[in-house]
Amino acid sequence: MGKEAIKPRKPREMKSRTQPSQQGTFLLPDLRSQLDRRQGLYRLAHQIDWSRFEMEFGALYSEEGRPALPIRRMVGLLLLKHLQNLSDERVVEFWSLSPYAQYFCGEEQMQWGSPCEPSELTHFRNRIGPGGAEKIFSASIAVHGQKALEGEVVVDTTTQEKNITFPTDTKLAAKIVKTGVKLAKRNNIALRQSYARTLPKLLLAQRGRRSKNGVARARKASRKLKTIAWKVVRQLDRSLPQESSDRRWLCLAARVLSQKRKDTNKIYSLHEPHVYCLSKGKEHKKYEFGAKASVLVGKNGGVILGAYSLPENDYDGHSLGEALSQLRRLCGYSPRVAIADRGYRGRTHWEDTTLITPGVPKKNDSPYQIRKARARFRRRAAIEPRIGHLKSDFRLGRNFLKGQQGDSINLLLAATAANLSLWMRRRLSALIQILSRLSLYAPTIHTPTPQWAF
């Protein structure tokens, strides 16, 4: 993810001809003169270098054809989606209702109607890919300036859960039967049976799996359901032509039905086959199904400097090299020290970066060195609430984007929204401090007491 530059795909849309007008009109006052300039989105609209996105993503469009939507509007909608924790449909509606959102996306006057179709956001994400999402993420780091580029960083991994149900053999077998019947109808293949009445009865028998008298009935129904799934797969295998694109799904279904309980690289979802299982050991959730994500945060500033989605369930220590290479690619420097938990034990040096994990102090360490090490590792724990806010506030808790590309894009945009939200909070607190100082040192005006006052 992100190693290569943005790959120019075959353009289907022309570059946008619409340029923001700088001249106002008495019929429609401009938003700049109506909005509150202390508001976060208003200030953030002037802080981001929007021309950078025009140069980076302009090569993905053609010089002829249907005019495309403005690039700033599409990038702004993606940022608003994660800043406000909204879906594609809701962020389009939010843009129509909020003048601050319209000004953030480059509009000069208040607009009525929808900025685009919700599906346009999906097409734009596929157009820019993970490389384009990295460009947007690097812009969120540049907003904080040189203070964000710290010499010591904190690193940790978390799970980005996919939008799938808890997988069981019965669920997967039932889905194979339903999807196989649909494929047969689409290819005009006559199956021996559609199982329209048998399938609900077998699924209903699974409800008694935890009761004393229903265990045997549920196991028998589960075995029969798997047998029916094999029948559908074999009939489609005999009838589908060899050049059909649906044969890829048949191979996937056969792999699901033949996998055992203790097999490695198991498939837990038919529409997301790359999802892997992560055993977290949590009391409320022992297993999570999705992709592992590595997050790098500045030790003191709290700015997210790296967000790397692991394609495989690798050991945490093995993922640090890719995470540091992404940081060098985006920020242009290598941190001196990376602080991590004991899950990163093993290798201690990654080129110019030294990895530090908690351990027993050495006998020759001075009290000052022991106190400094403890302070470092206490500061390392600050990354945990940062990851928690990524999940609860910026759409990292459940990923609705498809494929490994969707994993990378969702993680990068969530980290981008977290950095922008941090910038807005800091500017607001700085503004409050300035106003409080002005009110503290403002000269007091003596007002005479009226003679009629008691």
Give yes or no for a contact between 27 and 75, defined as CB atoms under 8 angstroms apart.
Answer: no
- pLDDT reported for residue 17: 55
What is the DSSP track for 354-396? EEE---PPPTT--HHHHHHHHHHHHHHTTHHHHHHHHHHHSS-
Residue 21 has pLDDT above 70, yes or no: no
Q: Using 50, 70 and 90 to split pLDDT, how confident is the model at 3?
A: very low
Per-residue confidence at 362, pLDDT binned at 50, 70, 90?
confident
Secondary structure in 3-state letters for 257-320: HHCCCCCCCCCCCCCCCCCEEEECCCCCCCEEEEEEEEEEEECCCCCEEEEEECCCCCCHHHHH
Q: In the prediction, which pLDDT does 211 show? A: 85
pLDDT tens-place string over residues 96-111: 999 999 999 999 989 8
Mean pLDDT of the chain: 88
Predicted confidence at residue 2, as pLDDT, reads 46
pLDDT of residue 347: 87
Between β-strands 287-298 and 304-309, what pairing exists: parallel, antiparallel or unpaired?
antiparallel
Q: Is the pLDDT of residue 25 over 70?
A: no
Whole-number pLDDT of residue 454:
36
What digits encode the pLDDT tens for the residues 142-177?
Answer: 999 998 999 999 999 999 999 999 999 999 999 999
Tell me the pLDDT tens digit for each residue of 203-243: 999 888 888 888 999 999 999 999 999 999 999 999 999 88
Q: With 70 as the cut, is the pLDDT of residue 9 above it? A: no
pLDDT at 379: 86
CA distances from 390 to 16, 79, 289, 393 (A): 33, 14, 18, 6
Rounded to 5°, angle at Cα 98 from 97 and 99: 120
Residue 33 in this model has a pLDDT that exceeds 80: yes
In this structure, what are the phi and psi dihedrals at residue 309, rounded to the nearest 5 degrees? Answer: -95, 120
* pLDDT level of residue 11 (50, 70, 90 thresholds): low
Chain segment 108-120, per-residue pLDDT in tens: 989 888 999 999 9
CATH T-level assignment (fold) for domain 145-164+276-430: Nucleotidyltransferase; domain 5 (3.30.420)
pLDDT at 375: 87
**Beta carbons within 8 Å of 149's beta carbon, 6+ residues apart:** 298, 305, 331, 333
| 8 pLDDT above the threshold of 80 | no
Q: Which of 55, 78, 24 is nearest to 409 (CA)?
A: 78
Percentage, residues of the chain above pLDDT 70: 91
Query: Residue 351, CB half-sphere, CA atoms under 13 Å: how many?
Result: 10
27 or 31, which is more confident? Answer: 31
Burial of 409 (0-12, 13-18, 19+ CB in 10 A): buried
Mean pLDDT, residues 24-33 taken together:
74
DSSP 109: B
Residues 11, 60: contact at Cβ < 8 Å? yes
**Given this model, what pLDDT does residue 449 score?**
52
pLDDT for residue 453 is more than 50: no
Q: Which of 292-306, 342-356, 384-398 has the lowest mean pLDDT?
A: 342-356
pLDDT beyond 80 at 434: no
How much is the pLDDT for 67?
86
pLDDT, one tens digit per residue, over 254-266 is: 999 999 988 988 9
Q: Where in the chain is the domain with CATH 3.30.420.10?
A: 145-164+276-430
